[in-house]
Structure 1
Amino acid sequence: MIAAKDNSPQLTPEEYFAWEEKQLEKHEYINGEVYAMSGGSVNHGRIAIKFTAMFDSHLENSVCITGNSDIKINIVETKNYTYPDASVTCDDRDKITAQHFTYPCLIVEVLSNSTEAYDRGSKFRMYRNNPVLQDYLLVSSTTIEMDLYHKKDTGEWIIVNYKEGDTVELKSINLSFAIEQVYRGLDLTPESEPTI
């Protein structure tokens, strides 16, 4: 999804939760500022749905919970909240919060032109403060490509680039899948800019 700064006054986290309940669209909350989340492309939405369905099916008999783009992530040790496209938590602490996850082991962001730099940069720097996050998957919506940021047991983050023909491995939830599975049925023709 695409985030744009809202012109609202700075809010406390409590004010943000109360205010957002009355809004028609979702808003991320970073350092007291709110950012409207506008809709993404059809491919963006379909890819996010495929991930949540795949995760939910894979984790059906586990203690883990799959989150879609309606579930906020509270950035650990901050009062910041984001909306990833998909997430998974297996942490009992997330079972006692009704409005968000704080300790996901897996986060998925479907990339768009306007948010790719943010998703790869400052958003990932915020997410990696989470001690239980193991996999951060960035997914192209225009080509068969994914970049996985995986935290090794040593705490070091490595990047694994996946392309057509590859099998994606998410160690955080013990899931492997053919990359094409996510892109099946999608039109990957590059989107043209609107003309006036």
Structure 2
Amino acid sequence: MSTRRAPQTAISVDDYLAGELQAEQRHEYIDGQVYAMTGASDRHGLIVNALAYAMTPAARRKGCQLFSSDMKLRLEISGKTLFYYPDLLLSCDPQDRAPYFRRTPCILIEVLSESTARIDRREKLLAYQTLPSLQAYLLVEQDTQRVELYRRDNDWQVEYFEDGTIPLDCIDMALPVADVYVDVQALDADGG
């Protein structure tokens, strides 16, 4: 989740990475420009936690690493360097183990908010498709039970899931949509 602001003087990748180690707030990096990340709602946090909880056993069985919100994704597109913080990043490549970012995820997930949906559906969708390792990109609605799945083996055509299971082939898993929203439903039942 990020907020765009007016461009400033470009900073180097090394300066960005060093700054992120000291920063109290996370920032995304787009070709020398740095953008502060906004805070997340309770619904956002509950969905991210539910996804991580549901996916972790399958990720471990496959020898993969699952990160929620704090691992950067590094991309190189047309000579430009970008760093994003996906809400969830699943990396199964044993050669992709830099301490502060990954380059070859097989699944990326973003939980949509009103302020990030446009960027997640356009900018990030196009950027993420450039990753040869990426098999699936999920966009998860916060306020309604609906997940959008974009898969390489489906030519990146969107598939919608409001119930049933979502295929996550790179970890041999079918993710129940109900598991994604179980804590949000409990929040709603409590009047949240």
TM-score if structure 2 supplies the norm length?
Answer: 0.89
Cα deviation, residue 6, structure 1: 7.1
Corresponding residue number in structure 1 for 2:145: 144
Cα deviation, residue 8, structure 1: 5.2
The superposition leaves residues 54-89 of structure 1 with CA deviations (integer Å, 9 ceiling, x where unpaired) of 222222232211111000000145421000000111
Using the aligned pairs only, state the percent identity: 30
Are the counterparts in 1 of residues 2 and 28 from structure 2 also a CA contact under 8 Å? no
Q: 1:17, 1:117 → 2: CA distance?
A: 26
Q: 1:37, 1:150 → 2: CA distance?
A: 26
Corresponding residue number in structure 2 for 1:193: none
- Is it true that 1:171 corresponds to 2:169 in the alignment? yes
Corresponding residue number in structure 1 for 2:84: 82
Are the counterparts in 2 of residues 110 and 138 from structure 1 also a CA contact under 8 Å? yes
Corresponding residue number in structure 1 for 2:49: 49
| AA aligned opposite 1:162 | F
Corresponding residue number in structure 2 for 1:157: 156
Q: 2:67, 2:89 → 1: CA distance?
A: 5
Corresponding residue number in structure 1 for 2:120: 119
CA 1:75 to 1:60, structure 2 compared with 1: closer, same or farther past 3 Å?
Answer: same
The secondary structure found in structure 1 opposite 2:61 is: coil
CA 1:18 to 1:28, structure 2 compared with 1: closer, same or farther past 3 Å?
Answer: same
Q: 1:76, 1:102 → 2: CA distance?
A: 9
Relative contact order: is structure 1 or structure 2 higher (C-alpha 8 Å, sep ≥ 6)? 2
RMSD: 1.8
Are the counterparts in 2 of residues 144 and 183 from structure 1 also a CA contact under 8 Å? yes
Greater helix fraction, Structure 1 or Structure 2: 2
Q: 2:145, 2:171 → 1: CA distance?
A: 22
Cα deviation, residue 145, structure 1: 0.1
For structure 2, the 5+ residue unaligned runs are none
TM-score if structure 1 supplies the norm length?
Answer: 0.87
